[in-house]
Amino acid sequence: MTIKAPFNGKLKNTTNLFIPFIMAGDPSPSFTVEFAYLLQEEGADILELGIPYSDPLADGPVIQRSAARALKQGMTLKKAIELVPRMRERGLTIPVVLFTYYNPVHQFGEESLLRTLHKNGIDGLLIPDLPFEESRELKEQCQQYNIEWISLAAPNSEKRIKQIAREATGFLYGVSSLGVTGERESFSPEIQGFIKQLKTYSNVPVAIGFGISSHDQIASVNQYADGVIIGSKIIRIIEEHLPDVEAPDTLTFTSILKEIRYLLRGE
C-alpha cells in the first residue's frame, strides 16, 4: 500500500513518527505553548492536544490527573483551541490534532467547532468515544473544513479493521491493547500481526498508542508500524517535576526534555 502525504504536506515524514500527547493547560497554558514548541524541536512530527474532560472513558489515571489539573486552571475546549495560534506564533509548524470526547463537541456544536478549528490552525480531530459507524457525518464535515478525521482501530475490531483502515485520513491510530491509556511493561504477542493487518489496508501512516513507555518499546513498535503515540509517559514526566513546571525556567524544561530524549533515543 502506497502511503500518501496527509495534512496538506505539513507532515514531512511518514515513518518513525513521534506523536506526543499533551494536555492543554496542564499545568498551565503558558507551559503548554512552550512545551509544544520544544517537543517539535525534539523531533515531534504531529502534536496531539488533549482537552480536559471530567469523564474521560479511554484515559488511565495519569492522564485523568492531568485533566483534573488543567480543569482547575479553568481550561475549556475553546481556550485550548485558542492556544494553537500562540503555538504557531512561537514557531510550531507541525500538524496539531485535537483529542476530545464527544460531549464537549456536542455542547460546542459540530459545525461551529470545525469552523473554529480551521480558523485557529488545527489540522485534525480525534474523538475516541464516537464509534466508527456514527462518525461518518462528522467526518464528511471535517473534509469540508480541511480537517483530517483521525480513526482508531483496536485489536477487538477485526471485522471492521479493513473498512476503518481504508477510510482513515491523516494517520490511523492503532490501539496497542484493550482498556484505558497508561504505561505497560509489555504488549500482546498478537500486536505484530495487528499492525501488519492495519498497514495492509491503510494508505496513511499507522501509528500505535496506548501504553508505550520505554525506548525498547518504541524501537520494537517502529519495526512494524509507521510511528508511536506517547501520552501517559510524557504526562508522568511532567507530573514528576511538579511544582517546578508551574513556573518553569530553562533548567526545568532541560530536565524534562532530557528524560524525553532518553525515552526516544535511549541516550
Whether 48 sits among the annotated catalytic residues: the reply is yes
Q: Check 59, 123, 148, 226 and give the catalytic one.
A: 59
Whether 59 sits among the annotated catalytic residues: the reply is yes
CA 73 to chain centre: 21
The grid coordinates listed for 222 are: 517502529
Q: Check 26, 45, 48, 226 and give the catalytic one.
A: 48
Whether the upstream peptide bond of residue 27 has omega within 30° of 0, thus cis, is yes
The grid coordinates listed for 214 are: 520505554
Distance CA 89, CA 99 (A): 21
CA-to-CA dists, residue 22 to 63, 90, 100, 169, 259, angstroms: 9, 17, 12, 21, 15
Which are the catalytic amino acids?
48, 59
